[in-house]
């Protein structure tokens, strides 16, 4: 079969699938989705790499799955044994949807219409730390059988006898999870190896019939690292790569190519030594670790999590030297008395601490403090884009990177730079604009005469509280308020909590519980920050008013300072990095407003820098779709009254 003929046949099938088969099975199809599938198919046939910015409501998952399945059928030149597709995502929710909804739906339709001859077999691939080690579970259950333990945690532990996927269990404590998960190194002498559920899972995953492998970005990068080091790959060989939620790939790369040690890591290592009956060694090591933690600890509650550059003070140098010396001594003394995976953890801990002791310039060294002031030592690679390029883009494998926020201000430049794709000759760009009618269904409110107040001042808190209360009353609740700072969120919350006539909630810990409560309340107000800027779905009237308190500029920290050094002037850095990063985050936040074709919402930005005539007004508009703008709150009320039915105001 000629390759060009195969391509034409594939295009014909795209037409039939999207114009006839999917609509017959209840799926709404748009021209933008068909065009996106064409673009993806072109990329795959030409062995290229595509950056696909796909707006809300496009249906990109159906587009890329269809393109990949048709490629397998109409590209017979591909060698047998390397036909599979890898779909890498950032969230477990999307993985569950792909394997539980998208693939079964497409498999049924394609089988019924003879597009494929066998059902599509897919499998989620995850790291071993996400599965139960049967030997360690047995040991853990024995250790707690006579102890008083939280009932929910005990039930979760017992349920692992029939469920080997740790992600499927709720109520399991973090400590128990670490105690029962598959260790980094499995002992070949393990008596349960032949019946081990994890090894049975691996055997099934390596089956040649698996045509779609689904994993997260970290697992994809770990597989790439294995291949570069000529170790056994984690994934089966694949001929097509799809990276969904691709804007999260740089975050995964920072984790993969960086190093970190937390106080929790220190304590776990000591616990493992105690478990192996080396109590004295564990106590001595704990003393060394405690001295190091004391030397880097802030010793105070923080308003928000913070990163600070690591400075090697005399106290820290002495604590590091003591830790390193003792870790090396332990590895020599206990080499014949510890399991390999514990020795591996001792060695890894030593390597990370040595980066801070020697001040390794390949890394950006910093301390990450959580809000309680507890520190972690972190080392970020200075060569992340180059490492990503070597890991994923040097091969001839075609790849599709897609997300709703790959483009910033009409350009893919920032994404190319972060992904290590700036100089790649195989790269293509494609934009699939959301089909939603934002001009009709969305109103952007930029309050007139906004005062220029000092960030975090009492005057700013008071102003924000007044604006939020007025907007909440105007839109009759149904409001999501996005903050860039937990401390500011707490301050404003305290100002408005006694003033609002609608249920008020705020997301701190246990975010999913609070979000669920918000969704159940008909006209509530939710204060949120952090992860709630993306990935949270509020369809219908749940969020009819989205308030963005400040433009989401990245907070200066050691990572941004290191990147700034690469640019000749501060202005170059702001234009190339700071503004594009803000625009991407703004697009993510804005995406909480309109989730379906019939949603209607007011989006308010209370940052004076976004107002007409101010410094970032143009950058804000470039980040958002075309929509109506007003500076008058009366227009907000008129919009809500015009768009909402009587039941909206009845609760």
Please write the tens of the pLDDT for every residue from 369-426.
987 888 999 999 999 999 999 999 988 899 999 999 999 988 999 999 999 999 898 9
Residues 516 and 596 in one domain: yes
For residue 359, being part of any structural domain is answered with yes
Domain shared by 376 and 397, yes or no: no
- 80 pLDDT band, cuts 50/70/90, is very low
Residues 271 and 369 in one domain: yes
Which residues lie closer than 8 Å to 416 by C-beta, 6 or more apart?
Answer: 51, 422, 424, 427
| 231/349 same-domain check | no
How many domains does the chain contain in total? 4
Would you say residue 209 lies in a domain?
no
Looking at the structure, tell me whether residues 338 and 428 fall in a common domain: no
Considering the domain architecture, whether residues 309 and 345 belong to the same structural domain is answered as: yes
Buried b (16+ CB within 10 A) or exposed e, 143-176: eeeeeeeeeeebebbeebeeebebeebeebeeeb
Assigned domain for 595 exists: yes
> Is 232 a residue whose pLDDT tops 60?
yes
Q: What is the mean pLDDT of residues 288-313?
A: 87
Q: Mean pLDDT throughout 21-39? A: 92
Mean per-residue pLDDT for 254-277? 91
The two tokens of residue 145 are 């059988």
Looking at residue 1, what is its pLDDT?
38
Q: Kindly list the strands in the beta sheet with 306-309, ordered across the sheet, starting from the edge strand earlier in the chain.
A: 259-262, 375-381, 363-369, 306-309
Which CATH number goes with the domain that contains 356?
1.10.275
Interval 451-492: pLDDT, tens: 998 888 899 999 999 999 999 999 999 999 999 998 899 999
DSSP 166-212: GGG-SS--HHHHHHHBPPSS--TT-TTGGG-HHHHHHHHHT-TT--E
Residues contacting 90, CB < 8 A, separation 6+ = 216, 217, 244, 245, 248, 249, 251, 252
Residue with tokens 């990177």: 401
Residue owning tokens 């198919």: 41
**Does 193 lie in the same domain as 289?**
no
Examine the domain organization and report whether 286 and 168 are in the same domain: no
From CA 591, how far away is CA 6, in angstroms rounded?
38
pLDDT in the model for residue 510: 60
Mean pLDDT of the chain: 90
* 560 and 635 inside one domain: yes
Pairing, β 504-506 against β 238-244: unpaired
Q: What's the whole-number mean pLDDT along residues 527-536?
A: 88
d(CA 467, CA 454): 16
pLDDT for the residue 567? 94
Average pLDDT for residues 169-179, to the nearest whole number?
A: 83
pLDDT score recorded for residue 81: 47
Lowest mean pLDDT among 77-86, 88-97, 198-207, 351-360: 77-86
**Lowest-pLDDT range of 2-6, 60-64, 268-272, 319-323:** 2-6
In a domain, 50, yes or no: yes
* CATH number of the domain that residue 582 is part of: 3.40.50.300
> In this predicted structure, what is the pLDDT of residue 483?
95
Comparing 535 with 346, the larger pLDDT belongs to: 346
Domain containing residue 102: CATH number: 3.40.50
pLDDT tens for residues 429-439?
999 999 999 99
Same structural domain, 416 and 486? no
Any domain includes 206:
no
What's the pLDDT at 5? 56
Range of the domain at 358: 259-381
Whether 650 has a pLDDT exceeding 80, the answer reads no
């Amino acid at each position: 079969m000629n390759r060009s003929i195969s391509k034409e046949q594939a295009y014909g099938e795209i037409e039939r699938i999207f114009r006839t088969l999917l609509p017959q099975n209840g799926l709404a199809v748009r021209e933008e989705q068909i065009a996106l599938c064409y673009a993806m198919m072109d990329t795959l046939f030409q062995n290229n790499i595509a950056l696909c910015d796909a707006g809300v409501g496009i249906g990109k998952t159906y587009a890329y799955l269809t393109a990949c399945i048709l490629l397998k059928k109409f590209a017979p030149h591909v060698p047998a044994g390397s036909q599979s597709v890898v779909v890498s995502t950032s969230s477990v929710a999307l993985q569950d949807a792909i394997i539980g909804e998208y693939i079964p739906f497409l498999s049924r339709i394609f089988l019924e219409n003879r597009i494929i001859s066998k059902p599509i077999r897919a499998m989620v691939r995850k790291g071993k730390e996400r599965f139960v080690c049967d030997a360690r579970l047995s040991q853990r259950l024995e250790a707690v059988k006579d102890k008083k333990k939280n009932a929910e945690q005990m039930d979760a532990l017992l349920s692992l006898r029939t469920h080997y996927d740790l992600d499927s269990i709720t109520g399991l404590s973090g400590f128990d999870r670490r105690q029962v998960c598959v260790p980094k190194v499995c002992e070949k002498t393990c008596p349960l190896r032949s019946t081990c559920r994890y090894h049975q899972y691996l055997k099934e995953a390596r089956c040649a019939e698996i045509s779609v492998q689904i994993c997260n970005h970290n697992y994809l990068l770990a597989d790439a690292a294995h291949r570069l080091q000529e170790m056994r790959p984690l994934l089966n060989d694949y001929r097509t790569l799809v990276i969904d939620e691709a804007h999260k790939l740089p975050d995964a790369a920072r984790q993969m190519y960086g190093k970190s040690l937390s106080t929790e890591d220190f304590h776990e290592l000591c616990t493992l030594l105690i478990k192996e009956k080396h109590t004295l060694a564990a106590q001595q090591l704990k003393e060394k670790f405690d001295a190091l933690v004391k030397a880097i600890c802030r010793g105070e509650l923080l308003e928000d999590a913070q990163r600070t550059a690591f400075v090697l003070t005399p106290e820290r140098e002495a604590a590091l030297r003591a830790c390193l010396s003792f870790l090396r001594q332990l590895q020599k003394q206990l080499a014949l008395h510890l399991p390999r995976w514990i020795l591996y953890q001792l060695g890894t801990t030593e390597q990370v601490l040595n980066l801070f002791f020697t001040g390794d310039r390949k890394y950006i060294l910093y301390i990450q403090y959580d809000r309680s002031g507890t520190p972690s030592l972190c080392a970020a690679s200075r060569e992340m884009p180059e490492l990503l390029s070597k890991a994923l883009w040097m091969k001839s494998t075609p790849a599709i990177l897609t997300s709703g926020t790959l483009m910033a201000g009409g350009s893919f430049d920032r994404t190319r730079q972060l992904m290590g794709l700036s100089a790649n000759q195989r790269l293509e760009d494609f934009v699939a604009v959301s089909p939603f009618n934002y001009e009709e269904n969305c109103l952007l409110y930029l309050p007139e005469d906004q005062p220029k107040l000092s960030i975090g001042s009492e005057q700013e808190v008071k102003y924000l509280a007044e604006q939020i209360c007025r907007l909440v009353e105007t839109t009759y609740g149904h409001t999501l308020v996005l903050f860039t700072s937990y401390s500011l969120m707490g301050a404003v919350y305290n100002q408005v909590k006694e003033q609002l006539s609608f249920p008020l909630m705020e997301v701190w810990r246990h975010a999913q519980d609070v979000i669920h409560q918000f969704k159940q309340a008909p006209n509530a107000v939710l204060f949120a920050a952090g992860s709630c800027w993306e990935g949270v779905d509020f369809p219908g009237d749940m969020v009819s008013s989205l308030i963005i308190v400040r433009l989401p500029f990245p907070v200066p920290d050691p990572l941004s300072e290191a990147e700034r050094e690469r640019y000749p002037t501060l202005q170059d850095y702001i234009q190339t990095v700071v503004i594009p990063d803000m625009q991407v985050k703004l697009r993510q936040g804005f995406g909480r407003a309109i989730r379906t074709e019939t949603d209607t919402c007011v989006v308010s930005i209370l940052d004076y820098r976004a107002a007409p005539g101010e410094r970032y007004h143009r950058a804000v508009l470039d980040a958002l779709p075309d929509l109506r703008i007003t500076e008058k709150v009366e227009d907000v009320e008129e919009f809500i009254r015009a768009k909402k039915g009587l039941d909206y105001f009845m609760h």
